[in-house]
Structure 1
Amino acid sequence: MRVTWRDYVPATPEGRSFTVISMINAIGSGLFLAASAVFFVRSVGLTPVEVGTGLAIAGIVGFLTTVPIGTAADRFGARRTLIVLQLWRAGGFAALCLVHGPVGFTVVSCCLAAAEAATQPMTQAVASATVAGSDRTRTMAIIRTVRNVGFSVGALLAAPLLAADSIWAYRSIVLTTAVVFVASALMLTRLRVGGADAVQRKVGPLAALKDFRDWRYLLLTGLNGVLNLHVTILAVGIPLWAIGSTSMPAGLLPALILINTLMSIALQVPIARAAETVGGAARALRLGGLAMVLCCVALAAAEGPASAWAAAGVLVVACLLLTFGEMWQATGGWELSYAYAPEDRKGVYLSVFSLGGTGQRIVGPALVTSVVIAAGPAGWLGLAVVFGLAAVLVTPVTRALRATPLVEEGLSS
C-alpha cells in the first residue's frame, strides 16, 4: 500500500485546523513535561516523595472525574466542553507558579488532572466530528503523529530555559504552557464543526454512571487498558530493567526513546490505514497484543547476554516490538471505541473508554516495578501471558459488541 505525503494531511479544512491546534497543544505539553520535575523541586519546593504522592492522588482524582465531565459534552457539545477544559488547564498551570509546599501542589495537580483526563475523549470526539467516518482513524493517526512532533519540539524549546537554572526560567516555562492552552481555546472557538456542538442526551453525572450497564463496552475498555501498559513499560519498565538487570550501558537508553518516537512519527499513519478495512480495527488490537507478547519475551531474554552490545541489540528488538504494539493498540482502540459508542452518548462512552488508559497510569507503575521486574524474567513472561490473553479476548468481545445496534457499518470481521 503506497503512502504519500497527502496521507499525512486530513481530508477536510476542519480536520487540518484541528490538527494544527493539536500540534500547538503538544508543544506546550512537551515544554512543560521536559521541565516539570525540576520545576516541582526548585520552584514549588517539594521532595521527590511529595511529588510522587501528589501526582498519585491527582491520578486518582482524574480517574474519578473523567466520566462526570464526559456527561457535560453530551449536554453542551464536545467542542464547547473542550474549550472549557483548555481554559481550565491554562488556569491550573498559571496557579502552579503561585503554590508552595505539598498541599497547594496536590490541590492544583488534582484540578489539572481532572481537566487533562477528560481532554483525551473530548479531543477524540471533536477530531472525529471534523471528518467523514471513513477518514476518522487516519485523522486520529495524523493527530497522534503531530503530537509526537510537538512533544519533541516543546522539549527542545525547554532546553535553553533549563540551562538558565533559575526559578523564573522554570516559571516562564509553566506560564508559556498556560498561554499555549489559552491560544488553543481561542482557536477552538473559530472551529466550526456542527456535530461536535450538538447537544446529545441531557443527563446528570451520577445518573450517567448509574445507568451505564454496557458490560460489552466495559470489557473492551478493560482489554484496551491492559494493552495500554506499553506506556508504563516504555517509561518505567525498560529503563529500570535495562539498568538493573542487563549489561546494556545506561547511556544508550535515550536511543530507545528516540527509536520509539521516530517510528511513531513515521509509521502511525500507514498502520492506521489498515484499520479502515473490514475488521481492521479489531485485527489491529489483536496485533497490538501479539506484539506486546513478543516484546515481553524479548525483555526476558535481555537479561541473558553478557555482552553490552548483545544486550542492547535485544532491547532494541523489544523496543521495536513495543512501538508496533503501541501503534496497533492506539489505532484499534480509537476506531472501536468510537464505532461502538451510541450517537447520543458519545461523551459518556468515550470518557468511560479513556478510563482504561487512566487506570493503567495509576496501577501500571506499581505492577511493572513491584511485580514484573521484581520477579525477573519470569515476571516478563507472566506479563506476556496477560497480553496474549487480552489479544485472544478481543475477538469474542467485539463479536458481542456487534450483536448490539451500536456498531457502524464496515467493522464486522
Structure 2
Amino acid sequence: MRRISPREYVPATPAGRTFAVTSLINAVGTGLYLAGSAVFFVRSVGLSTAEVGLGLAVSGIVGFLTTVPIGALAERIGARRMLVLLQLWRAGWFVALTFAHGVVGFTLVSSCLAAAEAATQPMTQAVASAATEAGDRTRTMAIIRTVRNMGFSLGALLAAPLLASHSIWAYRGIVLGTAAAFVVSALLLTRLRAVAGATAQRRTSPLAAIRGFRDWRYLLLTGLNGVLNLHTTILSVGIPLWALHATRVPTGLLPIVVLTNTVLSVVLQVPVSKSAEGPGGSARALRLGGAALTACCLAMALAAGPGSAWLAGAVLLGACVLLTFGEMWQAVGGWDLSYEFAPEDRKSTYLSVFSLGGTGQRIVGPALVTSVVIAAGPAGWIGLAVVFAAAALLVTPVTRLLRPLDGAGAQGAGAPAGPATAAAAGTPTESEGATP
C-alpha cells in the first residue's frame, strides 16, 4: 500500500468538502445518541430490556420496507432534496422521542425514525456521487466514512458527562443534541450543488419506479454484499459475547479491541480505497473483504483454544484486525459496484435496493450470530467462515452477469433506459442536486 499525503484525506471539490463536514456533524449527533440510548430508553422512556428489543425489532422491519419507496420518491424530487427532508424528519422525531413514554409511544417514534435512517445511507451515496467528480468518487466516500468514524467517537465522548450526571434532562439533552445535529446537517446540505454534467434523473411515480425494478442480477449483488455486511454484527455482538462466554480473554481487553477497529478504520480507510482503482478493482476489493472476514472467523474459533488468557486475547485482537480490513474492503467494493451497475437515471432506486442487504443484516444478523454461530461453538465460526468464503468466490461470476448492464446491453435485462433513451422518448428529467 503506497504512502499517501494528508491532502488525500480532503475531498477535491468544494461540494465534497461541504459534504464531508455535513457527514461529520451528522455522525457526532448519531454517536451522541448511540452512546446514551440504552440509558435513555430505560431511565427516561421507562422501558424494560424486552420492550426495547421489541420496539427496535419492529422499527427495523419498518425501515426495511420503506427504504425502496423512499428511494423511488427521490427520483421524482431529487436525492439532495430528499436527503434534506430525511434529516429534518429525523430531527423532528428525535424531539418527539425526548418526550415519549411507554412501549407504544417508543415503538411508534422508533419506526418513524427507522424509515428515515434506513433511507439515509443510499441517499447519502447518491448525493455524494452527484457532488463529486467521477474520478474522485471512491476516495470521497472513503473520506466520508473516515470522518463518520471520527464523529461517532466524538459524539460518544460528548455523551459521557451527560450520562454521568444521572439527570433525566441530561439524558433528554443527549437526544435533543442529536436532533440539533441533524438540523445543522440539513442546512448545510441545502448549499450543495451538483458537479457539471451530473446525470439527469428520470421523473416517475414511486409506484412505477418500484414496479419497474426487475434486475435480479443486481439483487444477487445486493445479497452478497448483505452477507459480507455481517461484520457489523460480529464487531458489536459476536466478539464481545464470544470473548465473555467462550474464551479466557480479560474483560478489560474488550474496549481495546473496539478501539483498534475504530482507529484502523479512521487511519486506513482512504489508503484501502486505492485497492478499488483500476479495471476490476471494485470486485477485487469485495473479494478481499470476503477473504479477510473468512480469516477473521477462523481466528475467532481459535481464540477459544488457548489456555493462556493473554494468548487468547492476542488471537482475538488479530481477529479484530482482520475484521477491520474486511469491513474496509467490503465498504469500498460495495460502494463502487452498487454505483457502477445502477442505471444512470435510476440511481436512487437502485442504491436503495442495494442498501437492503445491510438493513436485512441488521435485522437477522444478531439472532444468527448469537443463536447459531456462538451457540455452535468453534464449529459455528468455521461454518460462518465457509459462508464468507463462498460469498467472496461468487463476487466474480455475479459481477460478470452484471457486465451487460453497462452501455447498450442494459436494455436486454429489464433495466430501464439510460438518460439518452429517456430524453429521446421525451421523458422529463431533473438534474440531481440542482437548485430547487
Identify the TM-score tier after normalising by the shorter chain. over 0.9
TM-superposed CA distance for 1:203, in Å, is: 2.9
Partner of 1:84: 85
Q: CA deviation at 1:199?
A: 6.0
Q: What is residue 308 of structure 1 aligned with on the other side? A: 309
SS of equivalent residue, structure 1 residue 200: strand
Kept in 1: contact 2:132–2:195 (CA 8 A): no
- 1:283 maps to what in 2? 284
**What is the identity percentage for the equivalent residue pairs of Structure 1 and Structure 2?**
71
Match of 1:65 in 2: 66
- Within 1, Cα distance between the matches of 2:380 and 2:215? 33
Asked whether the 8 Å contact 1:66–1:352 carries over to 2, the reply is: yes
1:183 matched to 2:184? The reply is yes
Conserved in 1, the CA contact under 8 Å of 2:51 and 2:103?
Answer: yes
1:259 maps to 260
Whether the 8 Å contact between 2:133 and 2:195 is mirrored in structure 1 is no
Verify the 8 A CA contact 1:77 1:199 in the aligned structure 2: no
Aligned equivalent of 2:413: none
Distance 1:407 1:346, change over 3 A: farther
- Aligned residue pairs total 408
Deviations 1:101-133 (A, max 9, x none): 000000000000000000000000111111111
Counterpart check, 1:5 vs 2:45: no
2:133 aligns with: 132
Is residue 63–residue 111 contact of structure 2 (8 Å, CA) maintained in 1? yes
- Aligned residue for 1:252, secondary structure, equals helix
1:268 partner amino acid:
Q
Displacement of 1:198 after TM fit? 7.1
Q: 1:196 deviation in Å? A: 11
Q: CA separation of 1:198/1:73 partners in 2, compared to 1, >3 Å: closer, same or farther?
A: farther
| Preserved CA contact (<8 Å) 2:59 2:107 | yes
Is the 8 Å Cα contact of residues 149 and 266 (structure 2) preserved in structure 1? yes
Relative distance call for 1:180 and 1:63 in structure 2 (3 A) is: same
How many Å separate the matches in 1 of 2:282 and 2:270? 14
Query: Could you report, residue by residue, the CA deviation over 1:220-247 in whole angstroms, capped at 9, with x for unpaired residues?
Result: 0000000000000000001000000000
**Contact between 2:289 and 2:392, CA under 8 Å: does it hold in 1?**
yes
Alignment CA distance shift 1:193-1:404 (3 Å): closer
Separation in 1, partners of 2:117, 2:348: 15
Match of 2:433 in 1: none
The answer for the alignment partner of 2:175 in structure 1 is 174
SS in 2 for 1:119: helix
1:411 aligns to what?
none
CA–CA distance in structure 2, aligned partners of residues 195 and 264 of structure 1:
32
CA contact (8 A) 2:69 2:207 kept: yes
On the 8 A contact 2:285/2:329 being kept in 1, the answer is yes
What corresponds to 1:102 in structure 2? 103
Residues 227 and 288, structure 1, Cα contact 8 Å, conserved in 2: yes
* Unpaired stretches in structure 1, ≥5 consecutive residues: 409-413
Contact in 1 for aligned 2:70/2:119 (Cα 8 Å): yes
Q: Which amino acid in structure 1 is aligned with residue 141 of structure 2?
A: M
Report matched runs for 1:1-400 at 5 Å. 1-193=2-194, 200-400=201-401
> How far off is 1:138 after superposition?
0.4
CA displacement at 1:72 relative to structure 2: 1.6
**1:122-169 C-alpha deviation (Å, 9 max, x unpaired):** 000111111111110000000000000000000001111111011000
CA contact (8 A) 1:125 1:347 kept: yes
Task: For 1:303, give the aligned amino acid.
Answer: A
Cα deviation digits, residues 54-93 of structure 1 (max 9, x gap): 0010000000000000012110111000000000000010
What is the alpha-carbon distance in structure 1 between the residues aligned to residue 302 and residue 216 of structure 2? 38
| Residues 406 and 309 of structure 1: CA distance in aligned 2, closer, same or farther (over 3 Å) | farther
User: Any idea what the Cα deviations from partners look like across 1:277-335, whole Å, max 9, x if unmatched?
Assistant: 22111000000000011000000111101110010011011000000000000000000
In the alignment, what sits opposite 2:404? 403
Unaligned residue ranges in structure 2 (runs of 5+): 410-436
Q: Distance in 2 between matches of 1:14 and 1:154?
A: 24
For the residue of structure 2 that corresponds to 1:403, the secondary structure is helix
Q: Distance in 2 between matches of 1:196 and 1:107?
A: 42
Cα RMSD after superposing both structures: 1.5
* Conservation of the 8 A alpha-carbon contact between 1:134 and 1:276: no
Q: Distance in 2 between matches of 1:46 and 1:28?
A: 23
Please state how far the C-alpha of 1:274 moved relative to its aligned partner: 1.7
Q: Which amino acid aligns with 1:167?
A: I
Q: Are the counterparts in 2 of residues 284 and 332 from structure 1 also a CA contact under 8 Å?
A: yes
Partner amino acid, structure 1, of 2:387: V
Matched AA of 2:381? W
The verdict on how the C-alpha distance between 1:263 and 1:142 changes in structure 2, with shifts beyond 3 A counting, is: same
> So what's the TM-score if we normalise by structure 1?
0.97
For residue 271 of structure 2, give the secondary structure of its aligned residue in structure 1: helix
Q: CA offset at residue 201 of structure 1? A: 2.1
C-alpha displacement of 1:403: 1.9
Q: Contact conserved, 1:75 with 1:199, CA < 8 A, in 2?
A: no
CA contact (8 A) 1:263 1:323 kept: yes
Letter in 2 for 1:73: A
Question: Equivalents in 1 of 2:259, 2:227: separation in Å?
Answer: 24
Q: 1:335 to 1:400 in 2, by over 3 A?
A: same
